[in-house]
Structure formats: C-alpha cells, structure tokens
Amino acid sequence: MDLKWMLLFKGNVFSLPVIVQKTLFEHYMAVLSELDELSLLEKTAVQNSSVDVFLWAAKHRRYFRLLDEEQIVVKLRELMLQRISKQLPLAATLTPSQQVPLHPNETLLLLPEAWEQVLKRIHRHKKRRLFSERLGSVGFMITALVFGGFIFGMVMPIAPGTESLVSASTKSIASSMSEASPNQSVAVPITLTELKLKEQEVKNYADFKMYVPAYLPSGYTFDEGLAWIRQGESKTDHTMLVYMNDKNHLLRVTYYKLHKNGVLTTGSFGPESSKEIFIRGTKALLVTSITENSFIRLDWTENDTFISIFGRELEEEELVKMAKSLN
C-alpha cells in the first residue's frame, strides 16, 4: 500500500476530481482496516465512524500541513480510535442479536456503501459552500452600498419601473441572510465558464502539457472538448476530451493539473477488479468494474497532471493503446 496518497489530506480534498477522492478514500479505508479495535463495533458503527473521520480530515487540512504521510496515518488512526471509544458505551446497550462485530479484514467490504455515504455528504458540503459564497458576495455588496451612502452621502437613483424589483430582491436577500449561520464567512464566488472546443483547441486553454490521443477504439469519433475557465483567467487546470460510438457509449479523457501540495501514485482498494501496469514510463492503475455496465478506467500521472481514460465495454488493450498514443 502506497501511503503517499495520505498527503492529499494536506490540500483541498473537496476540490479534487471524484475519481481521485474515491481512490483516496479507498486507501484511507485500507489504513483503518489494520486497527484491531474495529472488531469491538458492529458494521454500521464502523462504517459511520469511518465516514465521519474521513470528512473531518477533509475539512481540517491545517492539522496535516506539517506532517508526512506516516504521521498522517497515525493521526487518522488516533481519530478513529477516539470515535471507537465513544461508540463502545452505545454498543454495550445492544442486545446480543444486534451485536454483529466486524472483523478488521472485513473493513474493505464496507467500501461501496461507505463511499456512497461520503459522496452524498461531499455533495451537500459543496452546495452549502456555494450558498455561503453567494450569500457572502451579496452581503458584501449590500454592506458596501449602505456604508457608501453613510460615508459619502450618496443616494443611488432608482430607474422608473424598477422599484418593485429592487424591493423584492432586498426582501429575498434579507430572508436568506436571516436564515444563515452567523459564523458563515464572506467570500467572493468563483465563476467558471465552460468552453466547448474542437479537439486540438483544448490544448490552448490548458495550464499544463496536454496530450491528445492519436488512436481511438473502433467506432469512436470525437464528440466535444471541454475546458473550465475561471473568471479573469485565460488558462485552466481541468480539461476533458469526449468521444462517442454508434451505441452512444461515451469515452472520456480527463486531465487535471495537480496541486503542489498533492502527491499522487497508483493503487486502489475497491469493489472493482484493479491492477497496476506500466504506461508511458510510469505506473498506472487499471480498474475494471464488476457490475453489468462493464466500465473500465485507466489512471496515471504525467508531468504533474492526473490523466484518466474512462469508458465501457472496452478491452484493456484498447485503453492501453489509446494511452500510449497521446501526443
């Protein structure tokens, strides 16, 4: 197991691509699976506690900034042990039929349900954060207008016919602010513009060395290129190329520029069938879904860029050939 994945807790876990978040969670669960104390709790308690600790770590990256990967592992296990100790009194109140202790080796079997729980809570966190940012921006504008009027003695004219619109907007803002937590921070929201581009055009917007596949599996043709640009910037750290075949199956190549405080290698502990292979001079992770949808994914890092090729009903050789053709 490669512990360097734990270094991602030093950065913003919520801003990572979902596939990176999932792989980090899988490594995290593998780290916890070595705790013998897990056998003291039943499965649901282990799952809930594991999810809680993971999200706590994701929200409190400042606690990990000065730690290396082994120290982060120690910290995570300490947090989990604290959760276990709090759960023990509750476990003691369960009847024998309710007490189904979990053997440490079974921890990884909880991954599918635990990951779904994490994904839902990450989604809720992003929605709350987006609301807070929007609210903070509106609140800042109102404060600036009010104080601007007091300080400079300015009165803003209202165009005829807009009084009701201004009144309705003010009421809506006031209502939203009254429901908000007083501890919510004021922040300026980041505006992302999605650009739909031709295949080779995407390179012009990438803030990293971006490679385009010269080979595609049989039946696939280019559908669209995507780049997400922040307001005021001309380059992006996130792009995607999308291809489609006659069955409307999508084949995506995702590129994500890695942050300086994040270190990515390969490895996975999940319900899929996975293995490490060498591609383009580096280790890559090939993951094949065991579900009926037959998804397949190839992930690796190259020149400080995370690259992922994702499709369905494709042979391993096809994805490898496609990856090798990137130029």
Q: Domain residue spans in the chain? A: 3-124, 128-179, 192-324
Q: E strands within the chain?
A: 192-197, 221-230, 238-244, 250-257, 273-279, 282-288, 295-302, 305-312
Angle made by CA atoms 316, 320, 321, in degrees to the nearest 5: 115
Burial classification of residue 225, based on how many CB atoms lie within 10 Å of its CB (0-12 exposed, 13-18 middle, 19 or more buried): buried
Residue 255: beta bridge partners?
A: 239, 307
pLDDT in tens, 266-315: 444 344 578 889 999 888 989 887 665 678 889 998 988 999 999 988 99
Name residue 222's beta-bridge partners: 243
Q: How far apart are CA 179 and CA 133, in angstroms?
A: 15
- Quick one: pLDDT at residue 240? 93
Sheet holding 305-312, edge to edge: 192-197, 221-230, 238-244, 250-257, 305-312, 295-302, 282-288, 273-279
Please tell me what DSSP assigns to residue 252.
E
Per-residue confidence band for 151, with pLDDT thresholds at 50, 70 and 90:
very low
Compute the half-sphere exposure of residue 318: CA atoms within 13 Å on the CB side of its CA.
Answer: 15
Nearest CA among 22, 17, 27 for reference residue 115: 22
Q: What's the pLDDT at 265? A: 43
Under 8 Å between Cβ of 251 and 310:
yes
Q: Chain-wide mean pLDDT for the chain?
A: 74
Specify the fold of 192-324.
Protein Transport Mog1p; Chain A (3.40.1000)
Helix (H) or strand (E) holding 130: helix 111-152
Band (174; pLDDT cuts 50, 70, 90): very low
Q: Tokens representing 43?
A: 């499965």
Pairing of strands 305-312, 250-257: antiparallel
Segment 21-77, tens digit of pLDDT: 888 888 888 888 778 777 777 778 888 888 999 999 999 988 888 888 899 999 999
Short-list 52, 59, 62, 8, CA closest to 32: 52
Q: Hey, how many other C-beta atoms are within 10 angstroms of the C-beta on 7?
A: 19
CB atoms closer than 10 angstroms to residue 260: 7
User: Can you give the pTM of this predicted structure?
Assistant: 0.45
Joined together, the tokens standing for residue 111 give 């991954």
CA dihedral 66, 69, 75, 79 (to 10 degrees): 130
Tokens matching residue 69? 């990967």
In DSSP terms, 224 is beta-bridged to 242
- Estimate the crossing angle of helix 18-32 against helix 111-152, to 10 degrees: 120
Distance CA 40, CA 54 (A): 20
Other residues' Cβ atoms within 10 Å of the Cβ of residue 295:
16
The token duo for 18 is 């979902």
Each residue's pLDDT tens digit, 189-219: 557 788 999 999 999 999 999 999 999 999 9
